[in-house]
């Protein structure tokens, strides 16, 4: 089954949005496969956002993501990578539709509450960056007929 790396960013943790965000993914019908509260070391942040290292916002992005605890998760389910991106909404919250997480809870592009992998390659890469094997739980929901 497909997996995605999803993370509540420091603004989301500070604003008590962890429960709300977890609930949206649970209610949608995805399965939580791993989760932990952590403060990201600088080297990990630079690696995670490596694709943006030449962008003007890179320094701000790394400072922000390391500024306080994040809630890192792995969510599992059919088409979870694409669907999670839809649930998150556009990168810039000003363009994110109401009903999406960023559309409902964020204003600024630099503090947009949530991260989600954008492809199967980045999901695999990010899962391996943030979680070891022991932290990943492989289980089946007992009542799966409805979703
Ligand atoms: P993320 O990686 O955090 O899930 O966000 P994303 O895929 O929607 O957006 P991405 O292009 O990967 O950008 C990563 C994060 O950088 C910040 N950003 N700032 N113009 C700007 O100032 C700007 N553009 C991007 C955002 O916080 C974005 O989430
Ligand atoms: Mg991205």
Q: Identify the three-state secondary structure at position 49.
A: coil
Nearest CA to ligand 1 atom 28: 91
The fraction of the chain above a pLDDT of 90, given in percent, is 95
Nearest CA to ligand 1 atom 9: 91
Please tell me the distance between residue 11's alpha carbon and the centre of ligand 2 in angstroms: 17
Q: Does the predicted TM-score (pTM) go above 0.80? A: yes
List residues near ligand 1 (CB under 6 A). Answer: 52, 57, 61, 91, 109-110, 112, 115-116, 118
Q: Please give the ipTM for the structure prediction.
A: 0.95
Query: Per-domain residue ranges for the chain?
Result: 3-132
Query: What pLDDT was estimated at residue 141?
Result: 85
Architecture of domain 3-132: 2-Layer Sandwich (3.30)
In terms of C-beta density within 10 A (0-12 exposed, 13-18 middle, 19 or more buried), how is residue 17 classed? buried
Query: What pLDDT was estimated at residue 131?
Result: 98
Please tell me the distance between residue 109's alpha carbon and the centre of ligand 1 in angstroms: 7
Burial 102-136 (b: 16+ CB within 10 A, else e): bbbbbeebebbbbbbbbeeebbebbbeebbeeeee
pLDDT tens track for 77-126? 999 999 999 999 999 999 999 999 999 999 999 999 999 999 999 999 99
């Amino acid at each position: 089954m497909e997996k995605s790396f999803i993370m509540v960013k420091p603004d989301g943790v500070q604003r008590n949005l962890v429960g709300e965000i977890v609930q949206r993914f649970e209610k949608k019908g995805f399965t939580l496969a791993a989760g932990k509260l952590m403060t990201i070391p600088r080297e990990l942040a630079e690696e995670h956002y490596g694709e943006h290292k030449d962008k003007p916002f890179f320094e701000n992005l790394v400072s922000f993501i390391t500024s306080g605890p994040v809630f890192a998760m792995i969510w599992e389910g059919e088409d979870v990578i694409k669907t999670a991106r839809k649930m998150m909404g556009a990168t810039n919250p000003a363009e994110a539709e109401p009903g999406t997480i960023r559309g409902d809870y964020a204003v600024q592009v630099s503090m947009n509450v949530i991260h989600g992998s954008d492809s199967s390659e980045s999901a695999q890469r990010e899962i391996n960056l943030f979680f070891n094997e022991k932290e990943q739980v492989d289980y089946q929901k007992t009542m799966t007929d409805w979703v």
